[in-house]
Chains A and B, each alone.
Chain A
Amino acid sequence: AQSVAQPEDQVNVAEGNPLTVKCTYSVSGNPYLFWYVQYPNRGLQFLLKYITGDNLVKGSYGFEAEFNKSQTSFHLKKPSALVSDSALYFCAVRDSRGSQGNLIFGKGTKLSVKP
């Protein structure tokens, strides 16, 4: 069965500092991994995804994520956090062997960036 874990309910970071939001996954085949962001009272916005190839994926708003197959992780990172990055972040996975297409989401991590 596919699953995603986001071990932190909340991450607090000072503006200008680097941030990391953690995600680990479990799938049968090769994973397709996604990060989405949800701003308050808004929908989910796609940030980035890993399909294959380079383990470091760059996405929107200066975010990047590193795929680590041995640790089954796909942590979201940003070198310098902004107050406007404060939002709810979701990691999601699809199994390459799956044929139905739906995403399996983690429970979300609230990122709070203080000035």
Chain B
Amino acid sequence: GQQVQQSPTSLVLQEGENAELQCNFSTSLNSMQWFYQRPGGSLVSVFYNPSGTKQSGRLTSTTVIKERRSSLHISSSQITDSGTYLCAMESNSGTYQRFGTGTKLQVVP
């Protein structure tokens, strides 16, 4: 079954609003990485965050291993934040990262 699930699948925000993206996984976690996928398709790493909370500018990631979830918070969203956000986790028994289905974010004026 699906080991990595993301929610919501899509989200429309007005510029300036905040967003909370969720990633839930069904197996024990070894690592967690968040990616931003541009509309053209290329991937950019946003956070490597296997546990705890990390912040970079307007972005904050929190991973709670015991609850098998990770979140990505975007504050004061901007139009340029539009795109797809993917989480990828590596299980304790795996050697590669599995991706979630992504959250498609659209920020409008």
Is chain B a partner of chain A in the same complex?
no
Which of B's residues lie within 8 Å of A, judged by CB?
none
